């Protein structure tokens, strides 16, 4: 009987020890549910792919985090983070002082300029005077919406907001908009598409406004999750140093996406 009890006790202790080293809960990586190529989009099988997906996969691998891509509607992505439906936002979100009132951010992981596109048969630029009397489309809850209202609101006839970038691009192609403002890389992907090539071209980059557009794109994290933030920052630093960041980026871009030198994406 004593032998049986000893065996049971040993098994119990092993079970408790195993629980102590059990696999940590997955880190739910929030991405905007709509396609945003070349950063994030679902492939034919529904798997999320793109530069940002490969980037965060590399960071998670470096820090031995079990990360799971979790699509969330863009306009609800910050509430999803603060209510713990997701643990991290990796969705081309610009670091801004306004957002930092609610959430924290990792270090910057990319930085690209903001652009204006419009119909090929119309010649104009990207200044408030150029957009005078025009209808300008932007995605809701983005730095572009804030920027357009601040800089073009007094000259444009309307700043029209859309739930997704695709909707704005489609309305531009259909002639219901005169211009669209968004991240230059995302708009570049649209201009490469059959629809984009047929209708539109680049009008120029907007003037800098660091207060609105911020210093770069970072991963959004809850203010209290300092340990997770530290791991993400360490992972970013590591893949920048070991060449993995550049290896991923060269598959998508022929320029330095990290430096950028302008405004951000969303």
Same domain, 127 and 198: yes
Q: Residue 66: which residues within 8 A CB-CB, separation 6 or more?
A: 23, 24, 25, 26, 27, 60
Q: Residue 198: which residues within 8 A CB-CB, separation 6 or more?
A: 173
Whether 92 contacts 170, CB under 8 Å: no
Classify residue 219 as exposed, middle or buried by CB count within 10 Å of its CB (0-12, 13-18, 19+). Answer: buried
Same domain, 155 and 74: no
2: in domain: no
3-state secondary structure of 48: strand
Residue 78 pLDDT level (bands cut at 50, 70, 90): very high
pLDDT of residue 142: 95
10: in domain: no
Residue indicated by tokens 């951010």: 105
What does the DSSP 8-state code read for residue 254?
A: S
Q: Span 165-177, mean pLDDT?
A: 97
Same domain, 235 and 205: no
Computed over its alpha carbons, how large is the radius of gyration of the chain? 22
Selected residue with higher pLDDT from 25 and 86: 86
Residue 117 dihedral angles phi and psi, to the nearest 5°: -120, 160
Q: Over pLDDT 70: what percentage of the chain? A: 89
3-state secondary structure of 40: strand
pLDDT of residue 21: 42
Sign of torsion over alpha carbons 247, 43, 187, 147: negative
231: in domain: yes
pLDDT of residue 26: 96
Can you tell me the distance from the alpha carbon of 136 to that of 132, in angstroms, rounded to the nearest whole number?
10
pLDDT of residue 24: 72
pLDDT of residue 6: 47
Q: What is the mean pLDDT of the chain?
A: 90
Q: Span 74-88, mean pLDDT?
A: 97
Same domain, 98 and 178: no
The whole-model pTM stands at: 0.81
pLDDT of residue 132: 97
User: The domain spanning residue 95 has which CATH number?
Assistant: 3.40.190.10
Same domain, 107 and 124: no
Lowest mean pLDDT among 2-11, 96-105, 180-189, 255-264: 2-11
Domain ranges, residue 152: 114-213
44: in domain: yes
Structural element, H or E, at residue 114 = strand 114-119
pLDDT of residue 18: 45
31: in domain: yes
Residue indicated by tokens 């090539």: 197
260: in domain: no
15: in domain: no
Same domain, 118 and 93: no
Same domain, 79 and 46: yes
171: in domain: yes
pLDDT of residue 261: 39
Same domain, 97 and 156: no
pLDDT in tens, 87-144: 999 999 999 999 999 999 999 999 989 999 999 999 999 999 999 999 999 999 999 9
Structural element, H or E, at residue 227 = helix 226-242
pLDDT of residue 59: 98
Tokens of 40: 């994030």
Same domain, 70 and 193: no
Whether 103 contacts 220, CB under 8 Å: yes
Classify residue 205 as exposed, middle or buried by CB count within 10 Å of its CB (0-12, 13-18, 19+). Answer: middle
pLDDT of residue 266: 60
Same domain, 173 and 95: no
pLDDT in tens, 31-64: 999 999 999 999 999 999 999 999 999 999 999 9
Same domain, 103 and 166: no
Pairing verdict, β 67-72 and 200-205: unpaired
Same domain, 119 and 209: yes
Neighbours of 36 (CB within 10 A): 26
pLDDT at residue 10 tops 70: no
Residue indicated by tokens 């360490």: 234
Residue 23 pLDDT level (bands cut at 50, 70, 90): low
Tokens of 55: 């980037």
Give the total number of structural domains in the chain: 2
3-state secondary structure of 167: helix
């Amino acid at each position: 009987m004593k032998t049986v009890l000893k065996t049971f006790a040993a098994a119990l202790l092993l079970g408790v020890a195993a629980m102590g080293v059990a696999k940590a809960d997955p880190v739910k990586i929030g991405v905007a549910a709509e396609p945003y190529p070349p950063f994030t989009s679902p492939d034919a099988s529904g798997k999320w792919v793109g530069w940002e997906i490969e980037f965060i996969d590399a960071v998670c691998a470096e820090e031995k985090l079990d990360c799971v891509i979790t699509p969330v509607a863009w306009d609800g992505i910050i509430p999803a983070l603060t209510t713990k439906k997701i643990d991290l936002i990796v969705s081309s979100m610009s670091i801004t002082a306004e957002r930092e009132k609610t959430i924290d951010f990792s270090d910057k992981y990319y930085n690209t300029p903001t652009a204006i596109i419009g119909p090929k048969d119309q010649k104009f630029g990207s200044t408030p005077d150029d957009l005078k009397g025009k209808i300008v489309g932007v995605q809701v809850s983005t730095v572009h919406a804030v920027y357009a209202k601040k800089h073009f609101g007094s000259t444009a006839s309307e700043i029209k907001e859309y739930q997704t970038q695709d909707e704005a691009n489609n309305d531009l192609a259909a002639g219901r908009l005169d211009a669209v403002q968004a991240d230059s890389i995302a708009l570049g992907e649209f201009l490469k598409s059959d629809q984009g090539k047929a209708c539109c071209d680049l009008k120029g980059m907007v003037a800098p406004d660091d207060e609105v557009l911020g210093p770069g794109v970072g991963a959004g994290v809850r203010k209290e999750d300092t340990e997770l933030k530290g791991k993400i920052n360490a992972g970013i630093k590591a893949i920048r140093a070991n060449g993995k960041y550049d290896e991923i980026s060269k598959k998508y871009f022929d320029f330095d996406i990290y430096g950028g030198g302008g405004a951000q994406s969303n």
